[in-house]
Structure 1
Amino acid sequence: MNLSKSPTSGKKTCKRVRTPEASSGFNARRSSQKLESSAVRTGADQEGFMDLGNKSALPKPKKRRSARQQLGMFVNFRAQILPVDCGEMRGLLIKRKLERGATRKCIRTEDGNWLTPKEFEVRGGYEKASNWKTSLTCGGKTLKRLMELGCMRSPPITREIKNKEKKSDKCKICQDGGKLFCCENCHSFFHGDCHLPPVNTKRNGWNCTFCTIENSSRSLQCYRESEVLEKQMGHEKLKCEFLLLKVYHHLESNIFPNIPHENYVTTASQYLVKLRKLDIIKKKLTKENYCKVKDFKEAMDKVFQDPRCEKLHLNQEEFMKNFRKVFTIHETN
């Protein structure tokens, strides 16, 4: 609060000053409490920020949530990673994981463990998980309220399918548990939406794309790269899905779970941006928006050509090696 005398009236005037955005993560609350004063707003602005600080100069509002939840929070509700609280528990919510289902372990705690929203709620002091959408808060707002404001998507409702889904082990792509499908050939587990193409739950006996491609790629005719790029998607779609799954598997299974705690939010956010771009390619591939193989490859090239990909262990050379192998390319011109 910057106080200065008015040149005309001699009275003191109040000038609102917006403080810089504090870093997000586990230490955001501690660092923001050091600020002597800040602008006070009762809700999120157009950018999704909510600045809450010293309220001594303003009239006392009506009953609201506890000061522990409200004081000193600077949150970008549009970010891919949100700091969440439940009782004494603190964690980082990964939006992308939550959007896949409420049974996914989408919250990373301070000790590095991963929990589902209900598990986080129980750890926060709720003996019987009631409604995690209202008991988990971010910047003083419940997750239910953030979903109503459009700051995050509500997870899909999952239905129980007997004798087809497994509730043990982990998905080969995202390394998370939950309702999984088992490949009858390699006995690997997959979430229905992590796999490409999405698993057909009505099908008896199912082989994953990895096994299907490996079993069908023997003794095939060789082609030039230019010939492959001009091919209509059609039967080549499965090969493109295989290549995309390989990239997902590399990022989500090998890289993302092993990000060190130091600067976790910054590093993890960079990976999530790339995963979101892959999600767009995945959606277009599923909806058959790519007419030719070259359309898919050009989309993947744009992801790899981003200079930040080098730091994220996204290797275009490895992708092209798999590309030439799966399409049996013997010449590149």
Structure 2
Amino acid sequence: MLKVTQTKNSLLDGAVVADELYTTPQDGKDFFESLDKSAKEPTKLAPRNTFIRAGVLTTVRGSAYMEYGNTKVLAIVAPPKELIRASARRMNMGVLNCYVNFAAFATGDLESVPERERNLASMLTKAMEPVVCRTEFLNFQLDIRVLILDDDGCLLSTAINCCGVALVECGISTYDLITASTACIYQEHIFLNPSAKMEELLWKHRGNSSNTSTPSDQEHGLIITASMDTFEQIAQCQQCGYLTPDTYVKLLDYTLAVNKSLRQIVRGVLTKRVKEQHELDLREKAENALEDQRLEGIIEKLKTQGLDEFIQSNIKEDPYVKRQ
């Protein structure tokens, strides 16, 4: 049995598949042949089945939960806090810190979790820095915390989308809504929103290119694009593998098209959240008005009846107590 030598790759952040499914090149080839790949070029530029909910936690000001297929992410944003004097230095921009943690049940390879958390946190910080208006909180720091509940590929792009929603929910000023997506190419087939198994197959191919039957000059790689569509700007674009310039541009266009679809979903979620909050405020305002009206009635009774008469009029007999 061929022993697989894993190499460090921070961009391919798919889950490590348990039980070593791809122990030989033939195993990987069999899995690739079993995939549904009717055409080499994708015909539908759409995201996975997506669920986003803003304000899922009441104990923090900004929070969001996102399911992108089977990938599940929770993001929390706290209001900016002042830097400690010992570490503070005069800066013209605030500090943005991102922290990523895996739930204990999210992955089976616990040894690689600390390194993956650091890599994802670093890449997430680079993606979110161009979005936040850091000039509005000088000498303050903004902390974004992400909890990975399940990983089925597109982990970094899902975390970026979820953090973008949490930032708006927290009331942090941003230049635009940010959306991100992932695409990869393997054996001349392009996969949008690749699964964790597909990312794992690509990752092991890169680590064992000399031992596989696939030609070394054949294109294979992955690209993650985060964009702000209002200004037609790319907040972050990360690529790994071997891609020709034409293929790189093609994958970039595909991810940008998916980002536009995700943007519509995010806008709908945030609009619904604003409407819900407005209805909640109106309901609370109506309840407060009724309470004020009740208190005004009590005050009027006190003025007309007096304290003793008011107390006596409000004393009610216990129906379960027998009169003597």
Q: TM-score, normalised by structure 2?
A: 0.26
- Higher strand proportion, which one? 2
Considering fraction of residues, name the structure with more helix: 2
Q: Which has the higher contact order (CA 8 A, sep 6+)?
A: 2
Q: Which has the larger radius of gyration?
A: 2
